[in-house]
Amino acid sequence: MRETFTKGMARNIYYGGAVFFFLVLIGLTVDTVRSLPKTDNSQNLTEQVASGKRLWEVNNCIGCHTLLGEGAYFAPELGNVYTRFGESTDAIKAFIKYRPVEGVEGRRSMPQFNLTDEQLEDLAQFLKYVDGIKTARDWPPNVQG
């Protein structure tokens, strides 16, 4: 690098740039959090949905599936599974409930989590709530996720 560009100048760009853009990120975060109620489907965030989210977490569903595109890529996207399953929470519950304990020979299979009927309902309600989140351009691109 040229001699006219000194270390001091480089240092100032670092400190100035870091502080400035960190503040920008904070500002945008405040604005994002304020405008979330328009899209985040929080009006449907019931106790049941909250306990469904906990079940989603403690069974490590994200270890195979994506949810709004984030997670593992081993099993289908579930952010729109409610739509894909014909807007039926019963279909979702039945799918989870009847997974074979020993799996399917030679194929990927979801484990049997032995959830109670109440837990199945909570989880299905959580997935329904996620489907109601208004994502930009209505992501995912189509019903297959």
Could you say which residues in the range 7-46 bind other proteins, by CB under 8 A?
7, 10-11, 13-14, 17-18, 21-22, 24-25, 28-29, 31-33, 35-36, 39-42, 45
Could you say which of 30, 50, 87, 118 contacts other proteins (CB under 8 A)?
50
| Per rule CB under 8 A, count of chain residues that contact other proteins | 77
Shortest spacing between CB 90 and other proteins, in angstroms: 20
By CB under 8 A, residue 57 contacts other proteins:
yes
Could you say which of 30, 74, 87, 88 contacts other proteins (CB under 8 A)?
74
By CB under 8 A, residue 117 contacts other proteins:
no
- Contact in structure between 79 and 66 (CB atoms under 8 Å): yes
Residues 78-97 that bind other proteins (CB under 8 A): none
Say how far apart CA 92 and CA 85 lie, in whole Å.
7
- Record the tokens describing residue 15, joined without a space: 């400190």
Closest by Cα among 52, 20, 63 to 130: 52
By CB under 8 A, residue 67 contacts other proteins:
yes
Strand residue runs (E) in 58-145: 66-67, 70-71
Shortest spacing between CB 17 and other proteins, in angstroms: 4
In the complex with other proteins, the residue whose CB is nearer, 94 or 104, is 104
**Cα-based torsion angle of the residue sequence 43, 46, 51, 57 in order, rounded to the nearest 10 degrees:** -10
Measured on CA atoms in the order 74, 77, 42, 27, is the torsion positive or negative? positive
Residue in the block written with tokens 């079940």:
55
Could you say which of 4, 43, 102, 117 contacts other proteins (CB under 8 A)?
102
